[in-house]
Structure 1
């Protein structure tokens, strides 16, 4: 049984949440963890948005178009292919879940120093912190 099958089981069959977790975990790995992703968004002109996810206050929203603009079509197309959905749907899924997942991976308002085990960190969120 793969990690994503296990995650899907923990989510009680919530395929949307499982697919979102898979998409965001893949994205975090591609970008070098939370720190790499934060840097990518800062360079893309969305420092305020990504800082809100890391910080302890309210998370600002991000649009699918902003996801596409910052990440480019390659990573979004990779996620779409992995999930069997269109790139537009992939960007929408990432925009919906990325703020919450980054927020939970930075509980003290600090970006982890290293990329670390992104899948392990994301899976640990399923203990009720993110989806509970």
Structure 2
């Protein structure tokens, strides 16, 4: 699925926010190739955040309970630099602005994409987003 389509699906899930949804779609799309055999780039995102020192916060977004916040600087340090730079460049934003915007939307998005407090298995991210997006008549 194209990153633009993923951004459109995320926009519906998050209730607006074109810029943030497109950034998140681009981030998840760029991490999609890092999950061998998986159609779900959430695995790659959570692995990258865990390796970057944000595993505890990311786990709070998946599990039931409160979502721990992160800031843009933490996110920029946790993600591979080329990943964040590519996402920011694609959006036409400075890297720090992209990181700040992503840090605001990631907890809510991951929380909504992990129903029941678990990562979905054998489900593509696109199917999961469609299943959790309010339908408009």
Shorter-normalised TM range: 0.7 to 0.9
Q: 1:100 to 1:5 in 2, by over 3 A?
A: closer
Partner of 1:83: 91
- 2:71 matches 1:63: yes
Contact kept in structure 2, 1:64 and 1:88, CA below 8 Å: yes
Partner of 1:102: 110
Output the CA distance in 2 between the equivalents of 1:127 and 1:44. Answer: 33
Partner of 2:5: 3
Give the superposition deviation at 1:38.
Answer: 1.1
Structure 1: segments with no counterpart, 5+ residues: none
CA deviations over 1:25-62 (Å, ceiling 9, x no partner): 22122223111111111122222100000011110001
Output the CA distance in 1 between the equivalents of 2:7 and 2:54. Answer: 33
Q: Work out the number of aligned pairs and report it.
A: 122
TM-score normalized with structure 1 length: 0.76
Structure 2: segments with no counterpart, 5+ residues: 33-40
Output the CA distance in 1 between the equivalents of 2:19 and 2:42. Answer: 19
Which of residues 93, 97, 102 is equivalent to 2:101? 93
Q: 1:101 to 1:6 in 2, by over 3 A?
A: closer
Q: Cα RMSD (Å) of the superposition? A: 2.8
Output the CA distance in 2 between the equivalents of 1:77 and 1:49. Answer: 22
- 2:134 matches 1:127: yes
TM-score normalized with structure 2 length: 0.74
